[in-house]
Amino acid sequence: MNQQLQRLKTQARKNGIPVIFDDGLKLLCDTVIATNAKTILEIGTAVGTSAMAMASLSPDITIDTYEIDSDRYHQAVENIHELGFDHQINVVHQNILEALISRKYDLIFMDGAKNHYYDYMVHTIDHIQPYGCYVIDNLNFHGIVDDPTLTHNRSTVQLVHKIKRFRHWITTNDMLNTVLYDKIGDGIAIVWLKDKTRIFETKEYGL
């Protein structure tokens, strides 16, 4: 990864912007390479660092990345322009759940609001290639999912409960092939679809 990108990542973390951990980013990039993904949808741009890391893997890779927050969107557009990735990365300032998606993607990186992961999957399922996969970050939520005593904040407790149910759902759903890397990053899953018409039949998620 080039030095400018590394610098942006460090700066983002200093400013409290939640960018993916380095080992999680490596797994994401390894997955892009291993699956030969060329069209990527990213949910949650922040300031563009993960999108640029993926784009830097090959000039053939194109990425649509959605960011709901106005300041972050503008910062991402500026960063992407500065590092010369405009021709590969299309940043959209929109809530992904309100977006009319018209393409199909080889890989979907889910890194938006953790309480909406299930909704993101429902919303994007028709836009992933049959051979494509999801990469999903923050399934441990800083260790709190497995050790709820780490927080007493009511909304965090509810959030981690929802992440735990989603994690259980993707790892037990017979229509999905999920590999969970719980020691990498903040807990990352790679999910392939077996039969997408039947994925949401499993009601265990209990929404």
Ligand X SMILES: C[S@@+](CC[C@H](N)C(=O)[O-])C[C@H]1O[C@@H](n2cnc3c(N)ncnc32)[C@H](O)[C@@H]1O
Q: Name the site residues for ligand X (rule: CB under 6 A).
A: 18-20, 43-44, 46, 49-50, 66-69, 72, 95-97, 111-113, 116
Q: Which amino acid appears at position 165 of this protein? A: R
If the CB atoms of residues 132 and 185 are measured against ligand X, the closer one turns out to be: 185
Least spacing, CB of residue 9 vs ligand X, in Å: 7
State which residue has the least CB distance to ligand X: 44
Nearer to ligand X, 51 or 176 (CB): 51
What string of DSSP letters covers 106-150? EEEEE-S-GGGHHHHHHHHGGGEEEEEEEEE--SSTTTTTT-GGG
* Nearest distance in Å: CB 142, ligand X: 12
Torsion sign (Cα): 28, 31, 37, 41: negative
Q: CB-wise, 97 or 175, nearer to ligand X? A: 97
Nearer to ligand X, 43 or 55 (CB): 43
SS3 155: helix
Q: Which is nearer to ligand X, 18 or 59 (CB)?
A: 18
Pseudo-torsion of CA 122, 125, 126, 132, nearest 10°? 170
**Alpha-carbon torsion 106, 109, 113, 119, what sign?**
positive
Closest separation in Å from C-beta 176 to ligand X: 22
Q: How far apart are CA 69 and CA 143, in angstroms?
A: 26
Q: How far is the CB of 38 from ligand X (least distance, A)?
A: 19
Q: How far is the CB of 194 from ligand X (least distance, A)?
A: 26
Residues 112 and 43: beta-carbon distance below 8 Å = yes
